[in-house]
């Protein structure tokens, strides 16, 4: 049973917003919450959240959040329940809309804020709905157009959770805080620069924190950001400490986080830090991630001084130009971090999956080369417990999302 924050009313219209995967993960999806809040604020509308294992599709208008390539199987299966109009949005849709348009009546491209209300206005008018919304910027019926707002829209303050959560809910019962959208960096392997011309920061973060904690009665905050570069990040962390809540931050951008910031993060109860060196220094720089090995080693020293004892490292193989010597150098770099760090390190090696709208979108996913590089990783990292995603899974991600020639 969920906390009764939005009381459902007698309404002429309803919309089901679908997260096509498990409930314990979908609750943390910000896009779902934005739609849920936006629709339920309207006088004549109710919005229901539906998950793969929770809820049932019952509305005449159904939206799907397409976050992960392999969810296409669940989406197509759940779509069989739909009786009216269907639409979709989310990262996978935005990276390659032409590929997925055939599965839905329309798509919402870019940001849902500023678009959904216009779509619902037209839906209320009845017949001719698809013709009318085809002229709305950000709606793809017969032509591609994206919607990106200059300023970030109203915040989804109402974030319902079950009364009790277990260990499968990885962040626990929390308030989700998006402080920025986009990224100021231009890593060639990332699709974000292809979406957002520039990063935008939330200016009213204090009001969002205060109201969000009050409404939802939470004692934990999970910060959403691609690189944690908000110019007032220290003030945000200090305010959270003042509110006496626990909080966690995403992957840290090494080279722009100082000792005071790391100390504030630790005061908020975070147990581990995550960094993404990606590869050895030569390839890292060639991919546009302009952070040198020395910057990472200096960061490790700060972690020691502050007292962190867990550090997670994310690496990749299969990146453009990678050879055996690069993987050996990558392992030697990890050795240096391990030697310097006072605590435990956890290593995750992922296959590089070229994404549409990234500068490496045309790079091939060569299973033969990746199998060879996997053997090198297994040999070089034999004294580490390395976490790796399956090659078949990564290939499917690429195959589903790639732009067909």
pLDDT one-digit tens code per residue, 243-273: 999 999 988 899 889 999 999 999 999 999 9
Average pLDDT over residues 37-43: 95
Residue 94: which of 44, 147, 51, 136 has the closest Cα? Answer: 147
Return all residues near 258 (Cβ < 8 A) that are at least 6 apart. 302
What pLDDT, on a 0 to 100 scale, did the predictor assign at position 5? Answer: 65
d(CA 340, CA 313): 14
- Note whether residue 199 is domain-resident: yes
182 and 231 in a single domain? The answer is yes
What pLDDT, on a 0 to 100 scale, did the predictor assign at position 51? Answer: 98
Name the domain boundary from 270, 304, 323: 270
Q: Tokens 């972690």 identify what position? A: 303
296 and 375 in a single domain? The answer is yes
Q: What is the CATH number of the domain that holds 368?
A: 3.30.750.200
- Note whether residue 165 is domain-resident: no
264 and 310 in a single domain? The answer is no
71 and 130 in a single domain? The answer is yes
- Note whether residue 167 is domain-resident: no
- Note whether residue 31 is domain-resident: yes
- pLDDT category of residue 195 using cuts at 50, 70 and 90: confident
Q: Kindly tell me if the per-residue pLDDT of 4 is higher than 50.
A: no
d(CA 313, CA 275): 5
Average pLDDT over residues 119-139: 97
114 and 200 in a single domain? The answer is no
324-330: long-range pairs with CB below 8 Å, 24+: 324/373, 324/376, 326/279, 326/280, 326/282, 326/283, 327/280, 327/373, 327/376, 327/377, 327/380, 328/376, 328/380, 329/280, 329/281, 329/282, 330/277, 330/279, 330/280
Q: Kindly tell me if the per-residue pLDDT of 219 is higher than 80.
A: yes
Characterize the bridge pairing of strands 106-108 and 175-178. unpaired
What pLDDT, on a 0 to 100 scale, did the predictor assign at position 2? Answer: 46
Q: Kindly tell me if the per-residue pLDDT of 372 is higher than 70.
A: yes
Q: Which of 109-123, 186-200, 339-353 has the lowest mean pLDDT?
A: 186-200
405 and 280 in a single domain? The answer is yes
200 and 266 in a single domain? The answer is yes
Name the domain boundary from 254, 270, 286: 270
Residue 205: which of 180, 181, 179, 227 has the closest Cα? Answer: 179
Domain assignment of residue 314, given as a range:
272-405
- pLDDT category of residue 405 using cuts at 50, 70 and 90: low
- Note whether residue 162 is domain-resident: no
What pLDDT, on a 0 to 100 scale, did the predictor assign at position 6? Answer: 74
Average pLDDT over residues 344-354: 97
- Mean pLDDT of the chain, nearest integer: 95
Q: What is the CATH number of the domain that holds 185?
A: 3.30.750.210
Question: How many folded domains does the chain comprise?
Answer: 3
Q: Kindly tell me if the per-residue pLDDT of 198 is higher than 90.
A: no
Average pLDDT over residues 30-48: 96
């Amino acid at each position: 049973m969920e906390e009764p924050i939005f009381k459902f009313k007698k309404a002429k219209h309803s919309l089901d917003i679908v997260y096509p995967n498990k409930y314990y993960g979908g609750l943390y999806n910000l896009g779902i919450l934005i739609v849920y809040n936006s629709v339920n604020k309207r006088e004549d509308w109710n919005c229901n959240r539906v998950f793969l294992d929770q809820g049932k599709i019952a509305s005449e208008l159904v939206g799907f959040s397409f976050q992960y390539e392999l969810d296409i199987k669940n989406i197509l299966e759940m779509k069989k329940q739909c009786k009216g109009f269907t639409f979709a949005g989310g990262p996978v849709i935005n990276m390659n809309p032409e590929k997925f348009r055939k599965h839905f009546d329309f798509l919402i491209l870019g940001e849902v804020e500023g678009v959904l209300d216009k779509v619902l206005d037209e839906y209320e008018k009845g017949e001719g709905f698809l013709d009318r919304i085809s002229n709305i910027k950000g709606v793809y019926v017969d032509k591609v157009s994206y919607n990106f707002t200059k300023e970030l829209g109203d915040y989804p303050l109402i974030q319902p959770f079950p009364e009790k959560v277990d260990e499968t809910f990885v962040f626990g019962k929390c308030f989700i805080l998006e402080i920025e959208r986009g990224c100021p960096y231009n890593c060639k392997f990332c699709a974000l620069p292809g979406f957002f011309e520039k990063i935008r920061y939330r200016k009213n973060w204090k009001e969002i924190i205060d109201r969000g904690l009050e409404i939802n009665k939470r004692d934990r905050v999970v910060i959403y950001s691609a690189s944690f570069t908000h110019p007032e990040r220290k003030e945000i962390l200090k305010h959270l400490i003042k509110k006496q809540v626990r909080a966690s931050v995403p992957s840290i951008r090494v080279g722009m986080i100082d000792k005071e910031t790391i100390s504030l993060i630790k005061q908020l109860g975070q147990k581990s830090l995550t960094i993404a060196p990606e590869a050895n220094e030569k390839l890292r720089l060639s991919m546009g991630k302009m952070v040198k090995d020395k910057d990472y080693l200096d960061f490790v020293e700060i972690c020691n001084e502050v007292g962190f004892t867990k550090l997670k490292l994310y690496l990749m193989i299969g990146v453009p130009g990678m050879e055996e010597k690069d993987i050996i150098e990558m392992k030697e770099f990890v050795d240096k971090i391990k030697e310097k760090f006072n605590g435990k390190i956890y290593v995750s090696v992922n296959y590089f999956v070229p994404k549409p709208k990234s500068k490496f979108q045309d790079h091939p996913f060569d299973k033969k080369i990746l199998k060879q590089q996997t053997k090198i990783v297994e040999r070089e990292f034999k004294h580490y417990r390395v976490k790796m995603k399956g090659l078949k899974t990564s290939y499917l991600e690429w195959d589903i999302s790639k732009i067909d020639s």
